[in-house]
Amino acid sequence: MPRVKAQKPQGITDVLKNNQEWSKAMHESDPNYFSKLAHQQNPEYLWIGCSDSRVPANQILGLAPGEVFVQRNVGNQVTHRDMNCMSCIEYAVDALKVKHIIICGHYNCGAVRGALTLPGKAPGLVNLWITEIRDVRNANQAQLQELNNHDKLDRLCELNVIRQLFNVCTSPVVQAAWDRGQELSVHGLIYSVSDGLLRELSPCITSMTDLDTFEATVEEKPADETPAGEAAATDGEGATGEGVAAARGAAGTRNLRKSNTLKKLAQGFFQSMSTHLYFERTSVGADCSTPKAADATARFVPPTIQEDAAAAKPVLDKAEAAGADVAAAKAEEPKIAAVHPTEATA
């Protein structure tokens, strides 16, 4: 794909000019580019990420327009109550038949920082929006309170991705896709703005049965492993053998701590999914498959609400019948007034 060296826009006029230059460059590179793009959309990836302007999905993944379907919001949230996100997942899975769903957070996320520093009573819709991140914070108090502020922010960014991974895997659309054997993988990633790299926070999840082996897929690095760049820098300083060994030992400790962190994240997700499956199989029933002919709207409505609506139907029917009687009585009032004008006036 050709690169266009555009000037930093100062207003909408500059943005439109940049667009014209980009369009011209694309035409020159491939005269049929836009005509082909206009008649097809066949992405293999659904990206659910943060609205942060520094985290553009296509550029990070190295994919062209038309190759990734994108859902972005503040803090890369995936809640079952968000009809925007749920309908996006439904369209991507059921209509576009994407093969991969990527939930991607990023370090130094403002929404996550807000969950750590913004008072719950602070006004504003964003404060309300990040409520679930606060729930993740509260559920992981023990490990978060041991960290300094910088590491605490990074860890909560990771934990937030794991929570949203859980929400995607338990969403009705994804559950139904797996039940019918559709090829669909879910991935939890985190992006570092400081180096432009994506890092995996979870193994690839392709079905509910993957959870049985989830915990075993997180491997610990050897304690004496040192990144090549760090070892070279240490040797270049002319340090003694003891100093090099100490540096490598410290690096190994950091690597081990990092691998243990990933293991804790995996274990947390595994435990959440195990709890979910327990209630699905014991309270809801052993067969958790979604009926093929199920009402599409029921996929987004919790069972308790459906049950409440069913229980309320007789009452509503009676009220409707009573309303009809009242309406009929009112319709008779003019006739009564015509026959008995004095009584009607009284």
Binding residues for Zn(2+): 50, 52, 106, 109
Active site (annotated) includes residue 104: no
C-alpha triplet 131, 136, 138: angle, nearest 5°: 90
Residues 6+ away with beta carbon under 8 Å from 264? 143
Catalytic residue (one of 85, 88, 104, 109): 109
196: region left, alpha or beta (phi > 0 left; psi from -120 to 50 alpha): left
> What number of helices (H) and strands (E) belong to the chain?
14, 5
Active site (annotated) includes residue 180: no
DSSP 3-state of 73: strand
Active site (annotated) includes residue 235: no
For residue 307, give Cα distances in angstroms to 13, 290, 298.
Answer: 55, 17, 11
> How far is Cα 244 from Cα 255, in angstroms, rounded to an integer?
16
Q: Look at residues 271, 262, 264 and name the one whose alpha carbon lies nearest to residue 166.
A: 271
Catalytic residue (one of 100, 106, 137, 155): 106
Q: For residues 127 and 120, is the Cβ–Cβ distance under 8 A?
A: yes
Token representation of residue 82: 């968000």
Which ranges constitute the DSSP H helices of 62-148? Answer: 83-90, 110-117, 125-129, 131-139, 141-144
Q: Which residues are annotated as a binding site?
A: 50, 52, 106, 109
Active site (annotated) includes residue 50: yes
Active site (annotated) includes residue 52: yes
Q: How far is CA 34 from the centre of its chain?
A: 30
> How far is Cα 133 from Cα 140, in angstroms, rounded to an integer?
11
Give catalytic residues, as residue numbers: 50, 52, 54, 106, 109
